[in-house]
Amino acid sequence: MLRLYVDTNDMDHDGWCSVIRHEGRLIDEVAAELRLVEGMAVILFYADPAEEFEYDGIVSHRTNRWLARADLASYRLLR
């Protein structure tokens, strides 16, 4: 399953947030190569020097950008 880096700082109350990267590459540059499609199941993660966590989620393409909806109940703290 794809693991996508997301910006959890812009997550709304429904769990939607911006998808930023896949393996260090901007999502807009690799979306076609990854064959991202509306509703595709993915793993969403955030990492900084202090912590790393992930969620199960789905992706959506809206207003010319990739978004993801995190299943907030699936939150996993990795470090």
Give me the number of domains the chain comprises.
1
H or E segment to which residue 40 belongs: none
Confidence (pTM)? 0.92
- pLDDT (tens digit per residue) in 31-42: 999 999 999 999
- How far apart, in whole angstroms, are the C-alpha atoms of residue 5 and residue 38? 17
Which CATH number belongs to the domain containing residue 25 in this structure?
A: 2.40.240
For residue 61, the enclosing domain spans 3-77
Handedness of CA 38, 74, 7, 9 (dihedral sign): positive
- For residue 42, the number of C-alpha atoms closer than 13 Å in the C-beta half-sphere is 26
> What does the pLDDT look like over 36-59, one tens digit per residue?
999 999 999 999 999 999 999 999
